Structure 1
C-alpha cells in the first residue's frame, strides 16, 4: 500500500496541534507523543500490518502512529480516552491523509474497560504506543475480550517490556510475564530512544511483539489459573508451599496440590511456566473450588 500520500506528524506539527488544542501532556494519562516519522514507520513495519488487518490502536493521541497505520491496514479502530483528542483525530486524518478517513473509526472509551461491541469490528492486530502506567492491564484486557486479535506490537517502558517478555528463571519474570504467556508468545522487538517523544520521558522505551497462541490445555478456568499466579507472586521470596497456603486453605493443602501437579513445593513462582500454574490450579482442594 505505501504511505506516500500521508503527511506524517513531525515535532513542529505536534507542538502546533497541542497548542491549538490547549493541550498540556499529563503524567496521569501517561501522555508522551511520538514526534519522529521514522519511529512510527518502524513500528508499522515490525508489526507486519497487512492490507487484511483491522488494527486496534490504543491512545492514538495526536495521531502520529495512526497516520502511519492507515495506508497499510484495512481499517484502524482508535480507542482514545481523552474527548478533546478523540474529537480532533478525524480532522487531522482528513487533512494529512485525505484519501483515507474512511478507514478510521474513533472510539472514545477507556481501553481498560472497552467491550467488543463498542468497536464496530473485529480487530486482528493491536498496535499502540501505550501509556506506561496501564500498559500491562490494557494488553491483558484486550487479549481476553478480543479473541479475533492474532498479533500485536506495543511500545512500552523498557522495564515493562522486559517483564512482559521474561521467561521462567529470569529476575524480572512475574505476574505480567505469566499472564501474557497464557494468551501469546511474547518477545522483545527492539529498543526505542527517549528523543522520539515529546515531552521527552525520563525512561527508555521498548517494543514488545505478541503472537496469539492457544492457552495451556487444562480443566481449570483462566480465572482459576490467574488466582494461582497472583498467589504465587504475592510474596516473591516465599516458597510455593508458603505462598499458596491461603489459596489452598493451608500450607499442607498447598503442598498436596503442588505434589499432585508434579511441582516441587520448595520452588518459587519465578521458576514455573504458565502450564505449571494451570496444572496446580486443577488440584486446588475440592472444598475451595
Structure 2
C-alpha cells in the first residue's frame, strides 16, 4: 500500500512532499533547542515556573491564559493529568506575555551560545528572510490550526536569528496541527500515536513515555488496542504491514498539509533554505544541546 494521499478530487500537492519534509526538518533543531536549553529553564524558574510547567506554559502562551483542556487537545499526546499539574497554575506566577518574553529571550541566549559568529552572518539573514516568507504566506489560513494561528499572530522580533527561530516555530506548529488532523483521521488517540511512533523505532520509548506522562499500565493498554487492530504484533511490539502502511499514510498526509507553507519559496527556494540552514543545524546537534536525557519535555 502506498503512502500517497492523492485521490481524484484532491488538487495535486503544491510541492514534492519529500522536499516539504526535508525543508521542515532542516531547521527543526534550531526550534527544538528551546525545549532542552538551560537558558529556557532558568528564565521560567525566574518567573516562579518549574521547567516542566514552563514547557506547557511557553508553548501555550500564544493562545493566552488557557486551561489544561485546551492545551491537552492542542498538544494531542500528553497525559491530561500531566498538563493539569502545569496549567492553569503557571498563570498565577506569570502572564502569558511574560512567559513569551522569557521564551524569546532564552532562544536568543541559546542560539547565540551555540551558533556564535553565525548569528550575524549573511547566511543567517537570508535564511531568516526565506523562513519568514514561508511563515507569513499561510498566515491567512488559520482554519483548524489553533496553535499555528496563535503563534502566527505574534509580533516579529528584529534580530535575524530570532526571526528565523520564530518563523520555524510558526512553521512547526502549522505542520503539527496538520499532523494532528492526520492522526485523528487515522483513528488514533494521542497515546496510541506515541506507541506507534516508538514501535517504528524512530524514537526511544523511555523518553517519550516519561515526557508525556503516561504510566506503564496506560502504555500497555494502548499497545493491546493497537495489537487488536492489527497495527502491531509480537511480544516485543513491531509494526505489521498494516501498521507500516498507516504510518506511511499519516506522514504523507502530514507532508501534503504542510506543503502550502513552502509553496511561496518553490523548489529552488526550499533547496536554498536547506543549504543555508545545514551548518547551523549541525552546530546545534554537535553542541549536544538536544540531549534527551537532560530534557524536561518535547513534543
**Structure that is richer in helix per residue:** 2
Same fold by TM-score, threshold 0.5 exceeded?
no
Question: If you compute each CA radius of gyration, which structure gives the higher value, 1 or 2?
Answer: 1
**Structure that is richer in strand per residue:** 1
- Which bin holds the TM-score, normalised by the shorter protein? under 0.3
